[in-house]
Amino acid sequence: MKIVIDCDDAAIGLKKVIIDHLTKAGAEVTDLDYLGTKKDAFYPEIGYNLALKIQDGSFERGILICGTGLGMAMIANKVEGVYAGVCHDVFSAERLRKSNDAQVLTMGARVIGPELAKTIVTAWLASEFQGGGSQPKVDQMRQLEKQSFGK
C-alpha cells in the first residue's frame, strides 16, 4: 500500500515520528514535504496538494497533520473523491476505514502525543472498508458529493 504524508509548521516533529514508525513497520511512505519548497505555506495548500495525489490515484492512503487536524480534514474533503477525518482515538481511526471508507487520516500535533498518534496510525492502516450496511451510506455520500460539485 502506497502511503503519502505531509504536515504544516505545527506538526513537523510528529510527522517525523509517524514516518519513522511507518518505515520501521515496513510501509511504503512518501513525504511530500511541501514546506521544504515553500516554507511559509499554510495548511490549506499543503492539504490540498496531498489530496490531489489521492484523487489522481498516485497513493492509496494519506496522512495529514496540523495543529488540530481540523483544517487539514476540511481542505482534503474539498477535493472531489477524497474523504478525510480527524481521529484522536483508536476506535474512530478504525471506523474511518471500516464505516466511512476514507482514504485520509488527519491528526493534531497539539492535541495528541506521539505514542497515541502511532497507535492510531497502526489501527487505521490495519482497517479496511467493510461494506455491508455501510455501503449504501457511503454510496449516498458519493451521490450527494456529485451534486455539490455540480456534476
Helical residues (DSSP H) of the chain, grouped into ranges = 12-24, 34-37, 43-55, 70-76, 90-98, 114-125, 135-148
6 touches ligand RB5 by CB under 6 A = no
d(CA 61, CA 74): 17
Rounded distance between C-alpha atoms, residue 70 and residue 130, angstroms: 25
Going by the DSSP 8-state scheme, the letter that residue 28 receives in this structure is: E
Residue 101 touches ligand RB5, criterion: CB under 6 A: no
Q: Is residue 77 a contact point for ligand RB5 (CB under 6 A)?
A: no
The correct pick among 30, 67, 92, 94 for binding ligand RB5 (CB under 6 A) is 67
**CB-count burial class (<10 Å; 0-12, 13-18, 19+) for 78:** middle
Nearer to ligand RB5, 10 or 138 (CB): 10
- Which of 29, 66, 79, 125: binder of ligand RB5 (CB under 6 A)? 66
Instruction: Read off the amino acid at residue 76.
Output: A
Query: Looking at 28-36, 64-72, 78-86, 118-126, which segment touches ligand RB5 (CB under 6 A)?
Result: 64-72
- Binding to ligand RB5 by residue 71, rule CB under 6 A? yes
Considering the rule CB under 6 A, would residue 8 count as an interface residue with ligand RB5?
yes
Whether the Cβ atoms of residue 90 and residue 123 lie closer than 8 Å to each other: yes
Catalytic residue selected from 29, 46, 50, 66: 66
Catalytic annotation on 87? no
Annotated catalytic sites, by residue?
66
Query: Which residues would be at the binding site for ligand RB5 (CB under 6 A)?
Result: 8, 10, 43, 66-68, 70-71
